[in-house]
Chain A
Amino acid sequence: MKKVIEGSMAVALAVKACRPHVISAYPITPQTHIVENLSQMVADGELKSEFVNVESEFSAASVILGASATGARAYSTTTAQGLLLMTEVLFNIAGLRLPVSLTCANRAISAPINIWCDHQDAMTVRDSGWIQLYAEDCQEAADMQLQAFKIGENPEIMLPVMVNMDGFILTHAFEPIELLDQKMADEYLPPYKPEIFLTTKNPVTFGILAEPQYYAESRYRLEEAIKASKPVIEEAASEFKRIFGRYSGGLVDKYKLDGAKTALVGMGSVVGTMREVVDEMNSHGQKSGLLKIRTYRPFPKEAIYDALKDVDNIIVMEKAISLGLGGILLNELKSIFQGKKKQPRISGFIIGLGGRDIPTQSIINAVKKVESETIEDEFIDLRTELIGAGK
């Protein structure tokens, strides 16, 4: 059944379909309607979850860590500064191999204070050991939520999964959403049964000290596990399609890349705008395609190389920056082509920071610029009068 609902409600309903035992969140700024909707569902008795209101995101993350260690399916959601306040706990959750899930409504990081969309929050915690999925629209964000627990709870993976959806652009957008049927959701996502968990019947210690002779092996195993999640992420998407009839997951999504000379690369909602640009370019005879990166961690190197190995020109557009380096995705993507025979021209643009609109014309202009030269880390649509440059 399709219904026009807000992105945050679509995610809240998807979380409800996952039957989490524990939900914990900091209820006020920065937060989204996801938490508001979930707490209402719990209060109304529609959702049988323990809802734990806490005084900070650090505590919210700690609550889901503890809950998950007892064998509960646990969920939280946050955004921007809230995600950064969780940072230390995020690393612990991954290190303890606890398959919690979190929706991050991607927003800019202070200073200056800005509550609008970009990807700086989630991309800043990219090294935490969490699997990171990025949704293009609200339907994907909802569908990925079910897949998140499916992937994370796989006994060979046992890792936390962050579903990223663009703040405001998706969280506050009303879209026709195919609601997740509870019976189908139950078939897709059976109850969580971990092999090791905290119980008085078989006491164990979580959160141990590992001296130099143990620590490296522990981190090695973590790296092996997150790399091993690549086929599991694809399987979770295929299984989802088998039950729900939609493919809304996986590592990457290719659009018109067969025979393309130019490829645009992006993540999140801007991919929709990029798709329009690709259509327009093709209508003018410019053979171009699009690569949507759905799974950012683990970084799907093989899938990206496979998709882009035949193009001449790659243009990465990203909503985050590693200050002092430049585009994060750009540099990671360039590393894939290191030592390969065919070297495409790889350019990168920083776009849409702090909620700046990205019209199709801006992308078209950027594509035109790199026809003759390689451009790295150029900010699109900078207002020159505000930076004291270029007359």
Chain B
Amino acid sequence: MPKTQTKSTKPEGITVKPGSSKEYKTGSWRSKKPIFKHDKCNDCRICVMVCPDGVIFGEDKKYWADMDFCKGCGICAEECPVKDIDMELEVR
């Protein structure tokens, strides 16, 4: 028998309040971070569309990622037609 006995075996921790994933910051999973150079950007917005997490924002050739949620996958840098995004090693 386990040493710790719970008083009740009712389900707990099965559900959480809705929308809680917004509070769950996944940015810490990142090993590389995107650098938006704002140099050759042609406003094609491909980076915005391909981001799997939907965390790239901006307009008028000035784009940026919400680093609380960017997991550093690098798809934006790979797909940027003018190579205006670099991936740099994350240093913490």
Query: Which residues of A approach B to under 8 Å, CB–CB?
Result: 96-97, 155-158, 195-196, 203-206, 208-210, 214, 217-218, 220-221, 224-225, 228
A224 touches B13 (CB 8 A): no
Q: How many residues of B contact A (CB 8 A)?
A: 17
Interchain residue pairs A-B with the least CB separation, the first 8:
A97-B11, A204-B15, A225-B9, A203-B18, A228-B9, A158-B11, A156-B9, A224-B9
Within 8 A of A (CB), among B2-22: 2, 5-6, 8-20
Query: For residue A97, which residues in chain B have a CB less than 8 angstroms away from its CB?
Result: 11, 14
Chain B residue numbers with a CB within 8 Å of A208 are: 14-16, 20
CB distance from B39 to the nearest CB of A (A): 38
Chain B contacts for A158, CB-based, 8 A: 10-11
Q: DSSP class of A's interface residues: helix, strand, loop or mixed?
A: loop
Complex Cα gap A224–B5 (Å)? 8
Q: Which residues of A contact B24 (CB under 8 A)?
A: 209
- A206, A209, A218, A224: the one contacting B6 at CB < 8 Å is A224
Kindly supply a per-residue 1/0 record for chain B positions 62-85, scoring 1 wherever the CB is within 8 Å of any chain A CB and 0 otherwise: 000000000000000000000000
- Which B residue sits closest to A228, measured CB to CB? B9
Query: Do A157 and B9 touch (CB < 8 A)?
Result: yes
Docked complex Cα distance between A210 and B14 (Å): 10
Chain B residues, CB < 8 A from A155: 10
Could you tell me the distance between the alpha carbons of A204 and B17 in the complex, rounded to whole angstroms? 5
Q: Are B15 and A214 in contact (CB under 8 A)?
A: no
A205 engages B10 (CB within 8 Å): no
- Give Cα A204 to B16, complex, Å: 6
CB-based nearest B residue for A156: B9
Q: Measured between C-beta atoms, what is the minimum distance from A266 to chain B in Å?
A: 28
